[in-house]
């Protein structure tokens, strides 16, 4: 407090006049530059209900955000509020004591969120929550409804029906799937989107418990099915990058795209006339549970050294309310972990329904904390397998052996 401010406060007190409340200015950093208008709308609603708290939203390029944020936090010049990633990337920030721990008293909405959502923003070392989860992403099959209708196809109930659909599309002069494997992270995505039902929920439970590993026949079968259906990827798909694959699907040259729910907004932006549908890739039998892979994208957190901790907690509590979640869902097209939120978009409603039968996006949720990460291993091995340089069994063993260098249950 400056000498002038002290004098003014003392003077007002002496004459019996209350000093005005000092404004609390909070900075809020994000990597979502494209979402600025929606966040500013949400902030405006918060400020209207909380006079005296001002929130300034600042967004950075997504690819450089992690470096900018960590550098600022290390130099004690970071924001009061921030978006943080989940799982391993989250722990790099929370584990350095940069974030404020949160309780259900601070953010009552945390009590209503699911265990997997909370786990994505929980530091394993101390079991404390440091962020408010903001969105889940679902790995599934996105398809062109008009192409399906043109060819008289139905959503598949079995793996063989999915293969038959892909063949019918290819026979009609289009690509069954638009996917390529040149962009490494896409290889992890297609495993989750296409093989989860074949692998089965029990396998994922056992992996988390440490009672099996990736050489398990169920996982190998999932990779074998992926190898089979890659016959209906574009010719030369091993050299096809992510952006080009997106363009193939958006242009109507392919009937299906194995990917994440985050693709939908981009496809609609590229081609507003696309008539999209979604389904979980089926297992061998129609009786097999149809599963999607799910992960949580990130969370909202507060700087442990903010000068306005109570104001920061108040904003974080707001991000866990149904009012916030409703705008977030309908205007950004994301599935929020906040219960009770409804979706105006029927396609998002369908994805929400599919999420009731979900397995974890396992390499991100459980094996991206140490090196070599499960993600790096799986991406590289699937790339080799689909290029014909290895077998599903080889890929599964290489992934297991890599993780076993630090993960005790795989060392037996």
Rg of the Cα atoms in the chain? 24
**Per-residue b/e over 2-24, b at no fewer than 16 CB within 10 Å?**
eeeeeeeeeeeeeeeeeeeeeeb
Q: Residue range 237-251: average pLDDT?
A: 97
Q: CB neighbours (10 Å) of residue 370?
A: 12
15 conformational bin, left if phi > 0, alpha if psi -120 to 50, beta if neither:
alpha
Name the phi and psi angles at 289, rounded to 5.
Answer: -60, 130
Q: Residue range 259-275: average pLDDT?
A: 94
Q: What is the mean pLDDT of the chain?
A: 94
Which pLDDT does position 289 carry in this prediction? 98
Which pLDDT does position 61 carry in this prediction? 94
Q: Residue range 179-198: average pLDDT?
A: 98
Which pLDDT does position 13 carry in this prediction? 39
Query: pLDDT tens digits, residue range 316-357?
Result: 999 999 999 999 999 998 999 999 899 999 999 999 999 999
Put simply, whether the predicted model's pTM sits higher than 0.85 gets the answer yes
In which residue are the tokens 């063949």 written?
167
**3-class SS string, the chain:** CCHHHHHHHHHHHHCCCCCCCCCEEEEEEECCHHHHHHHHHHHHHHHHHCCCEEEEEEECCHHHHHHHHHHHHHCCCCCCEEEECCHHHHHHHHCCCCECCECCCCCHHHHHCCHHHHHCCECCCCCCECCEECCEEEEEEEEEHHHHHHCCCCCCCCHHHHHHHHHHHHHCCCEEECCCCCCHHHHHHHHHHHHHHHHCHHHHHHHHHCCCCCCCHHHHHHHHHHHHHHHHCCCCHHHCCHHHHHHHHHCCCEEEEEEECCHHHHHHHHCCCCCEEEECCCCCCCCCCCCEEEEECCEEEEECCCCCHHHHHHHHHHCCCHHHHHHHHHHHCCECCCCCCCCCCHHHHHHHHHCCCEEECHHHHHCCCCCCCHHHHHHHHHHHHHCCCCCHHHHHHHHHHHHHCCCHHHHC
In which residue are the tokens 């979900």 written?
358
Query: pLDDT tens digits, residue range 17-68?
Result: 443 457 899 999 999 998 999 999 999 999 999 999 999 999 999 989 999 9
- Helix 159-171 × helix 217-229 angle, to 10°: 10
Q: Residue range 204-219: average pLDDT?
A: 97
CA separation for the pair 354, 348 (Å, rounded): 10
Question: Is residue 252 within 8 Å of 274, Cβ to Cβ?
Answer: yes
Which pLDDT does position 14 carry in this prediction? 38
Which pLDDT does position 333 carry in this prediction? 86
**Tokens encoding 282:** 């089926």
Residue 214 has pLDDT above 90, yes or no: yes
Q: Residue range 244-259: average pLDDT?
A: 98
Which pLDDT does position 328 carry in this prediction? 95
Question: Is residue 303 within 8 Å of 312, Cβ to Cβ?
Answer: yes
Residue 256 has pLDDT above 50, yes or no: yes
The CATH code belonging to domain 22-135+297-320 is 3.40.190.10
Name the phi and psi angles at 369, rounded to 5.
Answer: -105, -20
| Pair type for strands 358-360 and 292-296 | parallel
Which top CATH class is 138-294+357-411? alpha beta
**Tokens encoding 137:** 């992403």
CA separation for the pair 357, 135 (Å, rounded): 17
302 conformational bin, left if phi > 0, alpha if psi -120 to 50, beta if neither:
beta
User: Regarding predicted confidence, which is higher, 288 or 8?
Assistant: 288
C-alpha of 47 from chain center: 28
Cis peptide before 372 (omega within 30 of 0): yes
Residue 2 has pLDDT above 50, yes or no: no
Distance set, CA 368 to CA 209, 262, 403 (Å): 16, 20, 10
Q: What percent of the chain has pLDDT over 90?
A: 92
Which pLDDT does position 21 carry in this prediction? 55
Q: CB neighbours (10 Å) of residue 355?
A: 17
Which pLDDT does position 9 carry in this prediction? 42
Residue 109 has pLDDT above 70, yes or no: yes
- Helix 392-404 × helix 374-386 angle, to 10°: 160
Q: Residue range 9-20: average pLDDT?
A: 39
Residues of the chain with CATH 3.40.190.10: 22-135+297-320, 138-294+357-411
Which pLDDT does position 412 carry in this prediction? 80
- The region of weakest confidence among 10-14, 115-119, 352-356 is 10-14
Which pLDDT does position 250 carry in this prediction? 97
């Amino acid at each position: 407090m400056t000498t002038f401010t002290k004098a003014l406060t003392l003077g007002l007190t002496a004459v019996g006049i209350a000093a005005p409340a000092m404004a609390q200015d909070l900075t809020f950093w994000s990597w979502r530059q494209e979402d600025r208008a929606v966040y500013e709308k949400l902030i405006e609603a918060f400020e209207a209900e909380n006079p005296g708290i001002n929130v300034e939203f600042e967004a950075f390029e997504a690819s450089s955000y992690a470096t900018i944020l960590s550098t600022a936090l290390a130099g004690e010049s970071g924001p009061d509020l921030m978006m943080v990633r989940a799982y391993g990337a989250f722990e790099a920030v929370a584990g350095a004591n940069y974030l404020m721990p949160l309780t259900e008293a601070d953010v009552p909405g945390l009590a209503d969120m699911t265990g997997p959502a909370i786990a994505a923003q929980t530091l394993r070392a101390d079991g404390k929550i440091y962020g408010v989860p903001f969105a889940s992403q679902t790995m599934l099959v996105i398809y062109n409804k008009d192409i399906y209708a043109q060819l008289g196809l139905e959503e598949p109930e079995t793996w063989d029906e999915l293969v038959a659909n892909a063949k019918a599309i290819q026979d009609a002069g289009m690509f069954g799937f638009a996917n390529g494997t040149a962009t490494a992270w896409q290889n992890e995505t297609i495993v989750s989107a296409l093989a989860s039902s074949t692998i089965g929920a029990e396998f994922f439970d056992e992996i988390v418990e440490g009672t099996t590993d990736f050489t398990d026949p169920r996982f190998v079968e999932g990779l074998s099915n992926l190898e089979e259906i890659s016959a209906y990827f574009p010719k030369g798909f091993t050299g096809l990058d992510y952006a080009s694959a997106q363009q193939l699907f958006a242009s109507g040259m392919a009937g299906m795209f194995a990917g994440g729910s985050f693709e939908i907004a981009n496809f609609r932006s590229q081609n507003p006339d696309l008539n999209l549908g979604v389904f979980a890739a089926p297992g061998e039998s129609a009786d097999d549970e149809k599963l999607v892979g799910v992960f949580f994208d990130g969370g909202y957190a507060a700087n442990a050294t903010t000068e306005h901790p109570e104001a920061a907690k108040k904003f974080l509590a707001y991000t866990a309310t149904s009012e916030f979640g409703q705008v977030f869902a309908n205007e950004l097209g994301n599935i929020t972990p906040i219960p009770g939120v409804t979706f105006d978009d029927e396609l998002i409603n369908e994805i929400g329904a599919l999420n009731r039968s979900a397995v974890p996006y396992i390499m991100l949720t459980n094996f991206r904390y140490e090196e070599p990460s499960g993600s790096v291993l799986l991406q590289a091995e699937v790339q080799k397998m689909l290029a014909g340089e290895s077998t599903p069994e080889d890929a599964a063993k290489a992934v297991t052996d890599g993780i076993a260098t630090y993960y005790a249950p795989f060392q037996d």
